[in-house]
Structure 1
Amino acid sequence: MMKVERAYKPEFEKYVPLEEWLETPREAREEMAECIVLRRDNLLLFSEEMLDLARWLTWETQTADIEKESATGLKYASKMYAAFFECAREPRKTSTFNIYDLPEVSWNGLGLLESGRIYPGQWFDAYFLAVITRDTDSMNTLGTFPVEIMRQSATTTDEVVYSLVEVFQSYHHREKDFPVKLNQTMKALLADGDDWSLDIGMGYLETFAALTTNAGFDFNEVLAKNLQCQEQYWMREKGQDIVPVCSFIPLQLLGMACMWHDCGNEVSVESDSLPRFLIDGRYFK
């Protein structure tokens, strides 16, 4: 097994205790049933809070109760993320969502693109969260979400980032030209050359290539390398005064580890950032 230690170490005793970091997302979880009916954007708000909850819970002692709390929050988040994107597919259409035991809600997508709420970064999180929770319906919803709609959003990004979405969607549909799209997007990321393209985008695709192709990559070695690389990226990006929370569970890398496991392979990378109970999907059967 390859043990990957996290470089970032929160000083809970010196600064903010772990219980305080957990307080807000736990309160959000308690308020979901009441507040999901109030406004459409709570679908996104609660998704993000449940991600924060799972990420901070990686610093707790991993008991069965903690694991179940994390997994349950992620299950709700997966459905809510997918519902939020579905609203934007046909903005004028009202869609009805039944998310587990939450009240039924009906929302349209008016204003989502104009306010910049739909963009590739959100899609990456939403899709791979669905992979982690083995939420096939949400994967299919996101796998068919038109990239052209993302391009209409007020939040824009480099063209290569949209191509990255297309790579994952191409594999989702098992399209024959997937390897071509993968190689072309890798080249475009290298040409783009900024830190995100080299450390995050290439990290996604290197790991995905090791997962999906016979290019000679060792999946576990590539996973371990990019786990460390991406943590360092977020530590630099956030600076010394802001906690790099998203590095506590890197959804895309964890999702690929889940895919590797579900194909019958061994994930030999051990890291608190890749919770084993999420890799083996024990709460998502």
Structure 2
Amino acid sequence: MKVERAYRPKFEKISLERRLDAPREAFDEIVEDIAIRRDNLLMISEDMIELARWLTWETQSAVIEQESATGLKYASKMYAAFFECAREPEKTSTFNIYDLPEVSWNGLGLLESGRIYPGQWFDAYFLAVITRDTDSMNTLATFPVGIMRQSATTTDEVVYSLVEVFQSYHHREKDFPVKLNQAMKALLADGDDWSLDIGMGYLETFAALTTNAGFDFNEVLAKNLQCQEQYQIRESGPNHAPVDSFIPLQLLGTACMWHDCGNEVSVESDSLPRFLIDGRYF
């Protein structure tokens, strides 16, 4: 089942090489930048995700795959560390991330500056799923939703409930199906574009993975891959590339979970790199 991208970047205006310059520079400077300031844990993570997204437009090779996977591995650990700082803001925590210098940070000011919110959590958790980073998954699965609600960045209550759905499944809680069903009803009632196109896409695909509700996983994945790309195209506007659609982390993460359960991911798309679904470098 092949899903072609609807959007094609205008590389004749800004070449792919130029698009890759900034995230590749960030990759080269990770060792230096991680020790400069705490917020670089987040900035570097976002740069590594952007690198992986633009690399999907590169001619694929083992070298390109390794570059993408390595950046995402760093990003997963740094994202989880950033959230861990916010768990007890006054506490100083020490992080040893692969071969990078050891760093110690507290979380003072993170909530006041609005850096902790569900959208960040979705990216962090499903990035950990993609990179098979069990430790980061466990850390994020226990991060209190109540702390997110204290952040200066707020969102609709239904979005917090999505975090609770994923955390509930992670812990294999008995009331997971109830939470899933309630969250889907709340998204439909909310009725805005994000709820219907993005939030429902998360939960429909997750329901196909985790329940016997009659969904065909690959059909639901393909549908929501296209739906979410159209949403990102609209949100980005005519003058900006819908970069988030190049790798939709939540849909890719769910596809990785489906694969790791021993099932076939029959959807073929440049937005769902096969080497990431297979976990080839993790």
Please state which band the TM-score falls in when normalised by the shorter chain: over 0.9
Provide the residue aligned with 1:255 in structure 2: 253
The aligned residue for residue 99 of structure 2 is 101
Give 1:180 shift: 0.1
Match of 1:160 among 158, 161, 164: 158
Q: How does 1:213-252 map to 2 (within 5 A)?
A: 213-252=211-250
Partner of 1:19: 17
Mapped to 1, the partners of 2:241 and 2:108 lie a distance apart of 33
Write out per-residue CA displacement over residues 196-226 of structure 1, whole angstroms, 9 at most, x where no aligned residue.
Answer: 0000000000000000000000000000000
1:222-259 CA-to-partner distances (Å, cap 9, x unmatched) read 00000000000000011101111000000000000000
Choose from 77, 80, 98 the match for 2:78. 80
**Matched residue, 2:114:** 116
Moved over 4 A (4+): none
Q: How does 1:159-198 map to 2 (within 5 A)?
A: 159-198=157-196
* Counterpart residue identity of residue 154, structure 2: T
> What is the CA RMSD across the aligned residues, in angstroms?
0.3
Bigger drift between 134-143 and 237-246 goes to 237-246
Aligned to 2:59: 61
Deviations 1:150-188 (A, max 9, x none): 000000000000000000000000000000000000000
How far residue 35 of structure 1 moved from its aligned partner, in angstroms, is 1.3
SS of alignment partner, residue 106 of structure 1 = strand
Q: Once structures 1 and 2 are overlaid, which stretch shifts more, 157-166 or 30-39?
A: 30-39
Q: Write the distance in 2 (CA, Å) between the matches of 1:11 and 1:240.
A: 11
**Under a length normalisation based on structure 2, what TM-score does the superposition of the two structures give?**
1.00
| Structure 1 position 97, deviation (Å) | 0.1
1:4 corresponds to 2:28: no
Q: 2:29 aligns with which of 28, 31, 40?
A: 31
One of 68, 87, 112 as aligned partner of 1:89: 87
- The structural deviation recorded for 1:11 is 1.6
SS state of the match for residue 101, structure 1?
coil
2:123 maps to amino acid: D
TM-score, L = length of structure 1: 0.99
Unpaired runs of 5+ in structure 1?
A: none
Q: Distance in 2 between matches of 1:207 and 1:40?
A: 34
CA offsets 1:30-87 (integer angstroms, 9 cap, x no match): 1110111110000000000000000000000110000000000000000000000000
Between the aligned partners of 1:32 and 1:231, the Cα distance in structure 2 is: 30
Aligned counterparts of 2:107 and 2:52: Cα–Cα separation in 1 = 28
The 2-side partners of 1:35 and 1:52 are apart by 17
2-structure distance, mates of 1:53, 1:267? 24
Which whole-Å CA distance do the structure 1 matches of 2:80 and 2:6 have between them?
Answer: 32
Q: In structure 1, how many angstroms separate the alpha carbons of the residues matched to 2:265 and 2:195? A: 25
Structure 2: 5+ residue stretches without partners: none
**What letter matches 1:156 in structure 2?**
T
| Cα distance in 2, alignment partners of residues 239 and 25 from structure 1 | 22
Between the two proteins, the alignment pairs up a number of residues equal to: 282
